[in-house]
Amino acid sequence: MIEKLKGYREEGKELLEKNQIEIWDIVQIKTRKTQYEGIVLPRIEHSAPNFINIKLENNYNIGVKVSEILEINKIGKKEASYKIPEKDFPHNKALPILKLFGTGGTIASRLDYTTGAVIPSFTPGELFSAVPELAEICNLECEIVFEILSENMKPHNWQKLAEKVKDAANSGIDGVVIGHGTDTMSYTSTALSFMLKDLSIPVVLVGSQRSSDRPSSDAALNLINAAVVASSDIAEVVLTMLGSPSHEYGLIHRGTLVRKMHSSVRHTFRTIDSIPLGLVQNRKIKMFTTDYRKKSKKSTQTFPNFESKIALVYSYPGNDNKLINFYIDKGYKGIVLIGTGLGHVSTNLYESIERAIQEGITVLMTTQTLHGFIGMNVYSTGRELLNMGVIPGKNLLPEVAYVKLGWVLGQTSNPEEIKHLINKNIAGEFLEREIPIAFNYNIDELLKNKKL
């Protein structure tokens, strides 16, 4: 239920209150120049205070200036009440049982046509009526774990998800799909990769770049692709989203090597420093490698502990010791430096980095080029930082290094064990070699030239 005058303030609110008019009232408005009839709509937050929002009879919305209004009269009310159609999700014994966890992304949703607000739809029945193809792939169980925007995800959310996945894996579910906002999806995929040991089933994170209330949405196809991957033998935490601007195929990315690389396009996710594990198209999977963990009968375990006092510090011309000193003073346990080039920072920061290490803070180096390995033996800056005790993060993406460091520090506080765990390849996050096409691979072209 929306509050009676949602979004209205100052003149707009005064006028409505004075005339005892609420949102959803049908009103006749007489202005200095003309008259309108329509439904009073909620006002968009933070917009100009001196207008009233009206949905006209022809369905167009407009704003009417308060100072132009001579008279406003209520002539009725049209409360919007929306129901999402539900159809029973058919059961088919021959198909795998998948569990879909919702975290708040809008994999399937519908639009409130009046306010433009997105109403998520999530029960199997709702999903079935929106994406009936799912019933040809799997049996579906759904559970909303939380409803938050992905930028508001916190480590405790990852921990809860990890437990949910473990329970599912150990109770005979064939695969897990996690609907997730795309902004921090790769943080979650990384966290789950570390927190879940001996994972026995596929865990597939999926989202959409265009919300599912528009006909062109990528949500349905991504969901279908995710269900196919979750029904496969890939027992890893992976992320499946469209691989090109076309609605043709989805790519399967390893959870610890993937990054959102564009603010808005559909094929925003790319595997960095390597190529994706495979692709999914027309409900079939084509793997580009055999080097992935297969499904097993092992019991899935969780190691969810996480140290959240980890800072990500970007190196840039002109920064100084204050920032790192701040984190030290605030009791942070780990710092991931996002250095320049091969893993450098300005000598301006030396003093605070040395202090951090002396005070027992783990400092891990990554690069803002995102692509390529850290190489701290090439220039004197690198050697000096190594000498101080900075740990080179090899090919780790800054965000992956952040999650890994938090997880490692959650497991142990022993300096030797910390070093050992950081350098250990736990969830496929480290690469031994970078294949030459990794930097600028184009899957469309590789497919066209039959190189995959």
Partner 1 sequence: MTQQYDYEKLGLKCGLEIHQQLDTKKKLFCRCPAILQGTREPDFTISREMRPVLGEMGTYDQAMLTEYEKGMGITYEGYNDVVCTYELDDTPPFSCNNEARRIALQIATLLNANIIEEMHVCRKNYLDGSVPCGFQRTMILGTEGYLTLESGKKIRIDILSLEEEAARKIKTENKINYFRLDRLGIPLIEVTTKPDINNPEECRECAERIGLLLWSTKVKKVLGSIRQDVNVSIEAGTRIEIKGVQKLGWIPLLINHEISRQLNLLVIKEELRRRKLNENNIQNKPIDLSNSLKNIKSSFLAKGIKSGKKIYGINFSGFKELFGKELMEDYRFGTEISSKVKLISGLKGIIHSDEELIKYNLSNEDINIIKEKLGTKEKDCFILVLGTKNECIKAMDVIITRVKFAFKGVPPETRRALENGNTEFLRELHGGARLYPDTDSEPIFNYEEELNEIKKSLPEYPWITIKQYSEKYKTEERIIKDLIFTGKIDLFDKLIKLYPNNPSLIFTTLLETTTALRREEKNIENITDDDYVEIFSLLKKKEISKEAIEELMSIKADSPELSINQIKKKLKIESISISELNSFIDEIVKKNLKLIKEKEMRAKGPLMGEVMKKVRGKIDGAVVSKELENSIKKTLKEMK
Contact residues: partner 1, CB under 8 A: 33-34, 36, 44, 47-48, 51, 53, 56, 58-65, 68, 82-85, 110-111, 113-118, 130, 209-210, 212-217, 220-221, 244-248, 263-266
- Give yes or no for a contact between 322 and 356, defined as CB atoms under 8 angstroms apart: no
Q: Smaller CB distance to partner 1: residue 217 or 274?
A: 217
Dist. CA 304–CA 406, nearest whole Å:
11
Distance between first and last Cα of the chain: 52
Choice among 114, 115, 182, 190 that is catalytic: 182
- With left for phi above 0 and alpha for psi between -120 and 50, is residue 96 left, alpha or beta? beta
Complex with partner 1: residue 110 or 259, whichever CB lies closer: 110
Could you tell me if 311 and 340 are in contact, meaning their C-beta atoms sit under 8 angstroms apart?
A: no
Nearest distance from C-beta of residue 151 to partner 1, angstroms = 17
The pair of three-digit structure tokens given for residue 259, joined into one six-digit string: 């990054």
For residue 272, which amino acid is it?
Answer: I
Q: How far is the CB of 187 from partner 1 (least distance, A)?
A: 23
Q: 322 catalytic, yes or no? A: no
Q: Report the run of H or E that residue 416 belongs to, with start and end.
A: helix 415-423
**Closer Cβ to partner 1, 63 or 389, answer by number:** 63
CA distance 385 to 377: 10
Q: How far is the CB of 72 from partner 1 (least distance, A)?
A: 15
* Active-site residue, selected from the candidate residues 55, 99, 166, 260: 260
Cβ distance to partner 1 smaller for residue 110 or 180 = 110
Closer by beta carbon to partner 1, 13 or else 309: 13
Q: Is 55 a catalytic residue?
A: no
Which residues are registered as beta bridge partners of 99?
141, 176
**Is-contact 257 193, C-beta < 8 A?**
no
88 included as an active-site residue: no
Shortest Å, Cβ 271 to partner 1: 20
* Least Cβ distance, residue 99 to partner 1 (angstroms): 24
Amino acid occupying residue 182: T
The nearer residue to partner 1, 49 or 90, going by C-beta atoms, is 49
β-pairing, 25-31 vs 69-77, is antiparallel
**Measured between alpha carbons, how far is residue 228 from residues 21, 79, 125, 309, 440 in Å?**
51, 41, 19, 37, 27
Residue 217 CB, nearest approach to partner 1 (Å): 7
Active site residues: 106, 182-183, 260
